[in-house]
Amino acid sequence: MQSFLFPCFLFLLAAQAGAQRRFEAGLVLGANLSQVDGDAYAGYRRLGIETGIKGIVRLSDRFYFSVQWLYSQRGSRPSSREELRDFGNSINIGIYYVELPFLLHIAPGDKKKGIFPVELFTGFSVGRLIRSKIQETGANVRFYPFLQINEIRDQFNPTDLSHLVGIQYNVSQEVAFYLKHTMSLRNLYTPLDRNDPYNQLEPYYLTAGANYIWR
């Protein structure tokens, strides 16, 4: 129920935008390229979507806060070389979140055609793991301890806290494109002790996307 109350709150803010330009709301749509440190794979290879809504509180012409409500797909997958290294045995990790990023936006430089073309932003995001899926490929995955992540899937941390930084290019007052990097501050999995055969798992990802703000 709480997951639905927050977006309703954002849309109520948007309803005030006509009378009070300090509050605005919009849509977010992007693509994640993610990986999980500790899964024996390298590179941002897992593709997923990021979509949701956002609310904005403007502090001044150059500064504003935003709060987003997002559905985010993350995880990891091997490269062809890594699959060959392990003789066709591999895993594909999918982790799916609902998250709330709280961001501060700063617009440096001068306005052009009535808008600041570039914005920088940073902040923190709180996420809730709503689903996970580990796809195993190959007949001998069980002989590779670092691939047996299905064994610890039920022990994944359900709550994520992340730090993110990004840059945004404003095409108009309504449309903008953004690029951001997000790194989890809480592990997806933490080994129980020194004898735990499984690695510490730390997700992070790049996102490219677009915003649309109602005016």
pLDDT given at position 109: 85
Is residue 194 over pLDDT 60? Answer: yes
Is residue 17 over pLDDT 50? Answer: no
pLDDT given at position 54: 97
pLDDT given at position 6: 55
For the chain, the domain total comes to 1
pLDDT given at position 86: 83
DSSP characters for 98-145?
A: EEEEEEEEE--S--BTTB-SEEEEEEEEEEEEEEEEEEEESTTGGG-G
The count of residues in the chain is 215
CATH of residue 139's domain is 2.40.160.20
Which residues have a Cβ under 8 Å from the Cβ of 192 and sit 6 or more positions away? none
| Position 158 confidence tier, pLDDT thresholds 50, 70, 90 | very high
Distance CA 131, CA 107 (A): 36
pLDDT given at position 36: 93
Is residue 195 over pLDDT 60? Answer: yes
pLDDT given at position 19: 44
Query: Model confidence over 83-122: pLDDT tens digits?
Result: 888 888 888 999 999 999 999 999 998 888 889 999 999 9
Is residue 210 over pLDDT 60? Answer: yes
Mean predicted lDDT score pLDDT of the chain: 88
Q: For the whole model, what pTM was predicted?
A: 0.85
Note down the domain range covering 37. Answer: 2-213
Distance CA 200, CA 91 (A): 16
User: Mean pLDDT throughout 189-195?
Assistant: 84
SS3 79: coil
The single-letter code of the amino acid at 18 is G
Distance CA 32, CA 97 (A): 12
First CA to last CA across the chain, in angstroms? 29
The single-letter code of the amino acid at 196 is D
